Structure 1
Amino acid sequence: MVTIAQLKQANPAMWQSAADGWLNLAKESEQACNDIHDQGRGPLDEHWQDRVGQAARGQLARDADTLEAGADIMRGVAMVLDGLTTSIEYAQRTLQDGLDLAARYGFDVDGQTGALTPNGSGDVPEGHRYGAEVSALLDEALRQAGQADRKAADELRRLAGTTGVTDPDVALNRYQGEASQTELSMYRGDIPDGSDPALVSEWWDSLTPQQQEQLKLSNPVEIAGLDGIPDGVKQELRGTDGKFDRVEFVRWTMEHWDDDNVDIDGENNCTNFASEGLHHSGVQYKGWNTLDDDGWGKSTAGGWGWDWLDRNGHTHTNSWGGAQNLHDFLNRNGSHEVPLSQAKPGDIIFFEEASDQNEHIKQGTIHHTAVVTAVTPDGDIRYTQHSDQRLNVSLNGREHHETTAEGQQNIRVVRVEPNWY
C-alpha cells in the first residue's frame, strides 16, 4: 500500500527517463530491422539464388522478425512507464491539494497512516470540523497512486516474460495492444468514481489546466459522465454546435469495435463502422436515396439487412461505406482536416497510400478509416477500428508495421462538422 510519505517522495521524472530510454531502444531495433530488409534480405533475393544464399536469406528474415517483435514489445514497456509517470503526477497534485487543505483547516498529517491531528493553527474558524473533507482527498490521492502502481507492476511483469517472442504479429497485436490498454486504464483509474460530486469538483480543481486537458483527451467518456465536472467542460467534449455527440461517438465505437452485427456482408467494413457510429451519435442522413452522389446514409432495406439489394446500390450510399468517398463527402459538407497534432477523440482518421509499394492500392488513394478514441498525454493517438478489429491501438506504435505491410502512409484527420441540418 502506498503511503503519503512515499507518494510525496516519488520522482516521476525517473520513470519518464526510463520510458524515453525504452522508446529509443525500440526505434533503434526498428531501424536495424529496416537495414536488414534494405541491405541484406532484399539483395539476397535478387543475387543469391543458390542454397547458401537462400539459407542466409532465411536467417536474415528471422533476425528481422526478432528485431521487429522486440521493438513492438519495448514500445509497450514505454507505454506502461508513460502511464505510471503521468498517473503519479496526477496523484501528487491531488495529494498536495489535500495537504494544503489540511494546513488551512489546522491539521497535521501523519505521513505513514494519514491520520489527522488538529493543531489549532488553521486560518478557518473551527476548521477541525472539516477533517472528513481532507481525509477524502488524501485517500483519493493514495487510491490513484496505488492503482497505477499495481497495474504498471502487473503489466511490466507480463512484458518481462516475452523475451522469447519472435513473431511480430503476436508482439504487436497482443503484447503491445495489452500495454496500450493498461496505459489508458491507469488514466481511467486516476478519475474518482463519482459517488461524491464534491470530491470530484475538488479533485478537478486541484489539477493544472494541462492535466485537465490531458484527461479530456485520454478519457473523454469518463470525464463527460462524471458528476462534479463543470457543465462547460462536458459540453466542450460533446460538441458545442449540437450537431452530434462526440462523446457518444467514442463510447459507441469502443463498445462495438468487435460487433459483427453492424457489418455489410461482402465488404471491408472499416468505413461502414465509422458511419454507423456517426449516425448512432446523432449525425443525420443526407439526401433522399442511396443513389445520391452527394448523399450519406442507408436505406430501410439496408437497415433490415437485405444484402441482395446491395449490388444495385440500394442499401447505402457510396459515401457510407467507402473510405475515399466518406473522406471526400465530409470535406465537401462542412467538415475539415486538422493537423495530426490537433487530433482529439471523435475525429476520424483516414489512411492514404503515399507510396507505390502496394500493387493493390493506387498511390494517393485513401483506403482505410478509423476513429480517434483517445490521445495520451504524450500526444500518441489511440484509434479504434473494425475490419481488422482493433481497440485503442497506438498510431505511433503501429507505424512501422503499417509501413512494412502497406507502404508509407499519409494520415489525414477529419473533424466532423455536418452542415446539412
Structure 2
Amino acid sequence: MNKTRSGNGYSDSDAAVSVEDAERDAGAGAGDIPGTSFSRGGNLGDVNPANSNGQLSNKYINFPSLVSWATRYGTEENDWTAGDNCTNFVSDALLAAGVPMKWDGKSPFRNGASDQVDQWWNGYYDTPNSPVNTISEEYRAHTRSRSWTTAGGLYSFLENTGSYEDPVSRAAPGDLMFWSYANGATAGQVHHAAVITGLNDGDIRYSQHSGLQSNASLKEREPLFTSANGSQIIHIIHVVPWPCGVGAQGC
C-alpha cells in the first residue's frame, strides 16, 4: 500500500507491498524489535508521541471517537465472539467513528459476502430476507464483506479507496496497524489488524481482538507475537474514508 494509492487487485493471500519492497523502503529492513521490520522505514525509536489525527477528522471519520471506541472495547467481546475477529473489531471501530459502509447493492456474493475489492459492509442488521433476531455466528460470518472480516480484505479495500501507508515516524492514534509474514510460503500475506490507540516515546499502543487487548504495548508484545508466528512486517495505515478517497469529492 504505497502513497501512489494504486490498486493491486485482490486476494486473501496478496499483500499490496512485497517483502522485498518493504525491506527496500525500510532501509536495512529491521526494526528495533528482533525479527520485525517496518515497511516504510524507521523503527519504534522513531515514534513521535506528539502526532495526532484529531485535526484531520471530518464528517466521515472522527479519529478521537475511533480511538476511544477501540480502547473501550478492546477487552470486551462486544460483537462476533467466535474464532478470529480482529478485522471485524477494526471494522466496527471504523463504523463507530463515522465511516459509512460501501456496497453497490448488486455485487456477486460468496456465501452471502461480497468479494469485490471496493466493497466494505456489514449486512447483519440490514440484509434483505434475513432472519429476525438471528444470533447465529455462522449467519453473521455470511452477512459481511470479506473486507469487513479479513485482514487482507480490509487492507486491499483501504488501498483501493484512498488510504495510504505512513512511516513509523508519522504514526498517530487512529491509524491502523496490519501485520504480514516476512518469510516463507506465506511471505507478504496480511493476516492481522489492530487500531493504534496511543503513542509513547519508542512505543506504539494498540487495541485489538483475537487476543483481547486495550492499549497494549507493541514493544512488549511483538517479540512474543514474532516467536509464535515468525518474522513480521508491520504496516502503519492512515485511513482516508472512502467518500474522501480516490476520485471522490465532498470531504
Counterpart residue number, 2:91: 275
CA contact (8 A) 2:57 2:63 kept: no
Counterpart residue number, 2:72: 255
Counterpart residue number, 1:407: 230
Counterpart residue number, 2:104: 288
2:192 corresponds, among 357, 363, 368, to: 368
Indicate how the Cα distance of structure 1 residues 281 and 396 shifts in structure 2: closer, same or farther if over 3 A, else same. same
CA contact (8 A) 2:195 2:208 kept: yes
Aligned pairs for 1:272-351 (under 5 A) are 272-289=88-105, 290-291=113-114, 293=116, 294-299=118-123, 300-301=126-127, 305-310=135-140, 313=142, 315-351=143-179
Aligned with 1:261: secondary structure?
A: coil
Matched, 1:391 2:214: yes
Indicate how the Cα distance of structure 1 residues 255 and 304 shifts in structure 2: closer, same or farther if over 3 A, else same. farther
Provide TM-score, normalisation by structure 1. 0.41
CA contact (8 A) 2:88 2:150 kept: yes
How far does the alpha carbon of each residue in 1:26-54 deviate from its partner, in whole angstroms, 9 at most, with x for none?
A: xxxx99xx9xxxxxxxxxxxxxxxxxxxx
Counterpart residue number, 1:246: 63
Tell me how far apart the structure 1 counterparts of residues 82 and 211 of structure 2 sit (CA, whole Å): 14
How far does the alpha carbon of each residue in 1:324-357 deviate from its partner, in whole angstroms, 9 at most, with x for none?
A: 110111011010010122110000000101122x
Tell me how far apart the structure 2 counterparts of residues 261 and 323 of structure 1 sit (CA, whole Å): 19
Counterpart residue number, 1:50: none
Tell me how far apart the structure 2 counterparts of residues 405 and 415 of structure 1 sit (CA, whole Å): 27
How far does the alpha carbon of each residue in 1:344-379 deviate from its partner, in whole angstroms, 9 at most, with x for none?
A: 0000000101122xxxx8221111111100011x13
Tell me how far apart the structure 2 counterparts of residues 340 and 327 of structure 1 sit (CA, whole Å): 17
Residue 380 of structure 1 and its aligned partner are, at CA, apart by 1.1
CA contact (8 A) 1:250 1:373 kept: yes
Counterpart residue number, 2:6: none
How far does the alpha carbon of each residue in 1:373-420 deviate from its partner, in whole angstroms, 9 at most, with x for none?
A: 0011x1311111111001111112223212211111000011000233
Counterpart residue number, 1:60: none
Residue 306 of structure 1 and its aligned partner are, at CA, apart by 4.8
Residue 249 of structure 1 and its aligned partner are, at CA, apart by 0.3
Higher strand proportion (structure 1 or 2): 2
Residue 282 of structure 1 and its aligned partner are, at CA, apart by 0.2
* Runs of 5+ consecutive residues of structure 2 not aligned to the other structure: 1-32, 36-47, 106-112, 245-251
Higher helix proportion (structure 1 or 2): 1
CA contact (8 A) 1:334 1:418 kept: yes
Which amino acid counterpart does residue 402 of structure 1 have in structure 2? F
Which amino acid counterpart does residue 114 of structure 2 have in structure 1? L
CA contact (8 A) 2:72 2:214 kept: no
Residue 267 of structure 1 and its aligned partner are, at CA, apart by 3.6
Aligned with 2:242: secondary structure?
A: coil
CA contact (8 A) 1:340 1:411 kept: no
Tell me how far apart the structure 1 counterparts of residues 243 and 134 of structure 2 sit (CA, whole Å): 25
Tell me how far apart the structure 2 counterparts of residues 248 and 409 of structure 1 sit (CA, whole Å): 29
How far does the alpha carbon of each residue in 1:243-271 deviate from its partner, in whole angstroms, 9 at most, with x for none?
A: 200000000011111221311x5441100
Provide TM-score, normalisation by structure 2. 0.66
Tell me how far apart the structure 1 counterparts of residues 138 and 209 of structure 2 sit (CA, whole Å): 22
CA contact (8 A) 2:178 2:236 kept: yes
Tell me how far apart the structure 1 counterparts of residues 155 and 135 of structure 2 sit (CA, whole Å): 25
Aligned with 1:326: secondary structure?
A: helix
Q: Percent identity?
A: 33
Tell me how far apart the structure 1 counterparts of residues 70 and 188 of structure 2 sit (CA, whole Å): 27
Aligned pairs for 1:1-400 (under 5 A) are 214=49, 217=51, 237-263=54-80, 265-289=81-105, 290-291=113-114, 293=116, 294-299=118-123, 300-301=126-127, 305-310=135-140, 313=142, 315-356=143-184, 362-376=186-200, 378-400=201-223
CA contact (8 A) 1:238 1:245 kept: no
Indicate how the Cα distance of structure 1 residues 242 and 407 shifts in structure 2: closer, same or farther if over 3 A, else same. same
Bigger RCO of structures 1 and 2 (CA < 8 A, at least 6 apart): 2
Counterpart residue number, 2:243: 420
CA contact (8 A) 2:63 2:173 kept: yes
Residue 310 of structure 1 and its aligned partner are, at CA, apart by 4.6
Indicate how the Cα distance of structure 1 residues 308 and 390 shifts in structure 2: closer, same or farther if over 3 A, else same. closer
